[in-house]
Amino acid sequence: MPLPAIGQVLRVHTEDEGHTVLISRMLDLTPEFIRIDVPSLPKAEEESEAAETPPTVAPGTALWVEFHARDGALCKFRSELLLQEPLNGRPTWRIPVPEQKDIIREQRREFVRVPADLPVQVSMAPNADAHEVYTQDLSGGGLSLRVPPTLHLSAGTDLVLTFQLPPNQFTVTTPARVVRVGARNDHGYAIVSCRFVNMDEKLRQRVIQYTFYRQRQILASLSK
């Protein structure tokens, strides 16, 4: 089973009850150890008053490290903090390289949802008139749309969606189904959640690759 890729986003938490999930990134892989960014709180938690700073983790502390395989499956392995050391002026962690047999792959697929602001062409059928809206977020399993007051959708509505994925503007056209419609705001916009239906797996892999790319972008912006 493959290890996380260099640059891939990781979720790290201790085995303590009530553990806090932290976000990190794979920086390097050697035969002796894996180097990762010092884990930090997700952005939403950093901005809350309830969780201002990540917990202190001492060398020898047992950890769980989670990542997503290229097909969206959730993988995880037990680890520990070997030491913290600076690299080019930034703090990093060393953790052991797990044995392949120790990487646990969940049977369920769990797709990472990332914030994304992409234009989407929405139509009710192939070759029908399309409405342009923008995404709120995107994952390998579906997306959320910011729908203007001129477009009315309801749960169960089947759609055809077309959008392009940065950085190479790869075009995705896929069936989808509305699963939830949020309340409209003061400007008449609603958040509409859609699930991809019978999506070509090659296209899904492209979407998953984009979510990894977007996670790296977000993590890089937080580390500046």
Q: What is the pLDDT of residue 19?
A: 61
For 114-220, CATH number out of 2.40.10.220, 1.10.10.60, 3.40.50.2300, 3.40.50.720 equals 2.40.10.220
- Predicted model pTM: 0.62
**Domain ranges across the chain:** 9-110, 114-220
Which residues, other chains included, contact 134 with Cβ-Cβ below 8 Å and sequence gap of 6+? 117, 118, 119, 120, 145, 146
Q: Is the pLDDT at 11 greater than 70, yes or no?
A: yes
CA pseudo-torsion sign 218, 208, 7, 167: negative
Query: Picking from 16-25, 54-63, 75-84, 167-176, which range would have the lowest pLDDT averaged per residue?
Result: 16-25
Q: What local confidence, expressed as pLDDT, does residue 224 receive?
A: 57
The third-level CATH classification (topology) of the domain covering 9-110 is: Pnp Oxidase; Chain A (2.30.110)
The number of CA neighbours under 13 Å toward the Cβ of 138 is 25
Mean pLDDT on 41-69: 70
Q: Which of 73 and 160 is assigned the larger pLDDT? A: 160
pLDDT digits (tens, 9 = 90+) for 163-212: 999 999 999 999 999 999 999 999 999 999 999 999 998 999 899 889 88
Mean pLDDT of 3-14: 87
Is the pLDDT score of 23 beyond 90?
A: no
Q: 80 with 96: CB under 8 angstroms?
A: yes
How many DSSP H helices and E strands does the chain contain? 2, 15
Note whether 1 and 103 are within 8 A (CB): yes
pLDDT at res. 186? 93
Amino acid at 18: G
Tens digits of residue pLDDT in 125-143: 877 889 999 999 999 999 9
Residue 67 amino acid letter: F
Asked if residue 75 lies in contact with residue 1, where contact means CB atoms within 8 angstroms, the answer is yes
Average of per-residue pLDDT across 101-113: 80
d(Cα 175, Cα 160) in Å, to the nearest integer?
A: 5
The residue-averaged pLDDT of 42-65 equals 67
Residue 45's pLDDT is 40
Stretch 36-52: mean pLDDT: 61
**Owner of token pair 């035969």:** 31
pLDDT for residue 222 is more than 80: no
The region that residue 49 occupies, defined by phi over 0 for left and psi between -120 and 50 for alpha, beta otherwise, is alpha
